[in-house]
Every structure is written in structure tokens, then in C-alpha cells.
Amino acid sequence: MKVLVIGANGEIGQHVVKQIQNSDEHTVRAMVRKEEQAEELKKKGIDAVIANLEGNKRSIVKAAKGCDAVVFTAGSGGSTGPDKTLLVDLDGAVKSIEAAEEAGVDRFVMVSAMQANNRENWNEKIRHYYVAKHYADRMLEASNLNYTIVRPGGLLNEVGTGEVQIAENLDERGSIPREDVAKTVVTSLTEEHTYKRAFDLISGETEITDSLRNL
Amino acid sequence: MKVLVIGANGEIGQHVVKQIQNSDEHTVRAMVRKEEQAEELKKKGIDAVIANLEGNKRSIVKAAKGCDAVVFTAGSGGSTGPDKTLLVDLDGAVKSIEAAEEAGVDRFVMVSAMQANNRENWNEKIRHYYVAKHYADRMLEASNLNYTIVRPGGLLNEVGTGEVQIAENLDERGSIPREDVAKTVVTSLTEEHTYKRAFDLISGETEITDSLRNL
């Protein structure tokens, strides 16, 4: 598969790009916002395109053309206000979904947030963030794409263990290294058990491939 | 029809409540956030219920039970931040849609904003507001409800003229008194031409009933 990674310069995105680049199965196209980010990636031999999630959808359609899958792992981040959360995490995500449809890309893997599907479990302090993720996920589910929605718990920068706990709804709270989130995303791409499914994800004791197969 | 008005204390909502109360065709139930608002309405002989759009959906379901239609005209307003826009204008609206479905109410009229359907025409300064309205409208269109989405232009507090211009997409910009928006909403309730339709609305030269029939 040729995979367009949207948010390739993000903390999870960088892991996804690296893992796809190291795989025999897939090739990567990294979508970034700035010229210098694209240059940096091209120096490493990575196919990079520039498009802004707050800009016109056409540039995202162009980036997606010729790809077999899209991974969406962009986010406005914690340091910007709720207005950017709406524009990037919600509208930017839905533009990407529409762009995939328009470019004829069928497969779409979304990086969401643990329990974004359940209003009752949203963190009060960043409730607006959960609203944005919630509706991006619902718009994806309502699309014609073959989607997977990965909802990780608290994100850590530790080295990945490759072992996780996965379920449609985890009661337990937990965290997970970004490297393992990326590995789950990349493994999901061709794992049919994850097609048209959404699941919570935290660190656990089962190897990622096995965990996804048992979903 | 018994009509639940969500946002009954808002500037458009007050007109909607008054117009339904004065009609022979419909009866009104006003949904408000505060006890004192409910008391005020009850003094005027208006059926009032208390529910918070940021709270649990169950109270909205309860408010909608026994009604034949819902009018959604709530909004967080211009003085609150984008976080409230997400929580009220988007999540509150979708909770109301879900509540209507759960309560068995089939008819739903949404007060949206002019051109909320076209990203290209969103006001840059309040782009987050348009994102919220856009996705609330899309969630309504994706629901099983018999909806009408009314998208008024710039809102004025002038006395209504009863004459409007209506189209699925108006190229022209314009404004409209809130009283006329309310009248268009109330007239739409039983006007079959507006079922499963969305339209822009500004002041014009055609009587509201005729304008809706020609949609």
C-alpha cells in the first residue's frame, strides 16, 4: 500500500512515517504543513507533500491521489485554543475524509482518543477536544470509506513494548507509548479484523498483531 | 403540533415561543437552562422545562417526550469562547437531535447560519462558529428525522416585515429581522416543501408562506 500520512510531523506521525518506511509491505507519502518540514523529509528520501488542513480541500485531494490508504494523525496540539481544535481536529479531519473519497482512496485509519465515543467519559478540562474528536469519528463512520478508528489512552514518549490491550470499550484507564500507537495503526492497515471498527488502546500484555486479530 | 423550543430564552427563541403561543395550530413547550427563566415563562402560562445542553442527554429526551416537533435555536452566543461553541452549538445540537430520535419526535427544525454549508463562504473571524453549525447540520441530515435547516443571514432586532428571500444557496449577502426568522421557522413546521431541505434566508419581497412554497 502507498500510505498518505496526514500530520506526518506530529509525535505519532513521525513514528508512523518511520515504521512504514522500514516496512517491506508499504510505502509512505508524508503530508506536512511547511516547506522546511517537506525539505527535511525529502533529504531522508521520503516522499513529502505540502498541504494545510485549514486551507482548501483541493490540496489534500491532490496529496491523496494515487495512494491506497490515509492515516490521519494530525492535531492542533495542546498549546493552541479551542478554535484551532475545531478547525484542525474536526474540520481538517473531515476535509481529509472527503479528500480520500474524492481521490478514490478507500482505506482510512484515524487516530482518535480513548472513549471519544462516550460523552460520559470525557475529561472535563478538555471537553471541547473530545467533542472535536467525537464528531470527526462519527463523520468517518458515516462515510463510504473502509475505516479504522484507533482510540489510544494517555500518550507517552517512552520506547514501545509492542504489547497492548485492545477492546471496543475498555473500562480501565491507561496509557501507551506513541511508538506502540503508531505500530497499531500501521499493523491495522491490512488487518481485516479492524475494517469498519473502532477500538480503545492502552499498553497491555498481548502482542499487537494478536491483539488486533482477537478484536 | 406540540413544539419543543430549545433555546426558548434566546433572541430568536423568544419570538418562536410567542408566535407559537399565538397560533391556533400549535402549542409550545419552552426548554430553558435556568429555574428563574422557567418560572418567568410559567407566569405567562407557557409550558416550560429545564434542561442543560451541556448536561446529560436524558433531560432533553424527557423534555421532548410527547412533543411532535423540536425547534433548535440555542447558541452559546458571541460573548463566550470557542469551547462553549463546541459544547453548545455542536454537541448540544446533536444531543437534541439524538433526544428527538429517542423520544420518538419526527420533525426537527434547526436554526443554522447563512452558508454554513459552504466552507468557502465562512466568515474568517468566527470560522469556528461555522464549523460547529456546519457539523450540527450535517449530523441532522444524517439522522432519521424529518428535518428543515433554516440558514438566516445577519440577524437584526428590527420589527419583522414578513417578506423574505429564500433559496438553497443565495449568492447575495443580506440580513433579516429575528422576528422574520422565527416566523419562517414556525411556518416551516407544517410546510411540506421544507421537509428534508436546507435553505438560506434573508429579507426580501415575497411573503414567507409563498416563499417557502416556491422553494
Q: Do B127 and A82 touch (CB under 8 A)?
A: no
User: ipTM of the assembly?
Assistant: 0.88
Residue B4 has pLDDT above 80, yes or no: yes
Among this protein's residues, is B195 annotated catalytic? no
* CATH number of domain containing B71: 3.40.50.720
pLDDT value of position B81: 82
Cα A30 from Cα A6, distance rounded (Å) = 7
Q: Per the domain annotation, does A52 fall within a domain?
A: yes
Give the H/E segment covering residue A164.
Answer: strand A163-167
Closest CA to A102 of A145, A139, A133: A145
Count of domains forming chain B: 1
Rounded to two decimals, what is the model's pTM? 0.93
Q: Per the domain annotation, does A191 fall within a domain?
A: no
Closest CA to B187 of B168, B170, B164, B171: B164
Strand, helix or coil for residue A171: coil
Q: Per the domain annotation, does B36 fall within a domain?
A: yes
Mean pLDDT of B41-66: 96
B81, B94, B138 ranked by CB distance to A82: nearest: B81
Cα A36 from Cα A42, distance rounded (Å) = 10
Q: Do A86 and B82 touch (CB under 8 A)?
A: yes
Give the H/E segment covering residue A42.
Answer: helix A35-43
Q: Per the domain annotation, does A26 fall within a domain?
A: yes
| Domain span holding position B26 | 2-152
Q: Per the domain annotation, does B46 fall within a domain?
A: yes
Name the residue of chain B whose CA is nearest to A94's CA.
B135
B94, B119, B131 ranked by CB distance to A86: nearest: B131
For residue A94, list chain B residues with Cβ-Cβ distance below 8 A. 135
Q: Per the domain annotation, does B14 fall within a domain?
A: yes
pLDDT tier for residue A46 given thresholds of 50, 70 and 90: very high
pLDDT value of position A20: 98
- The Cβ of residue A99 has, within 10 Å, a number of other Cβ atoms equal to 24
Q: Per the domain annotation, does B198 fall within a domain?
A: no
Residue A197 has pLDDT above 80, yes or no: yes
Q: Per the domain annotation, does B114 fall within a domain?
A: yes
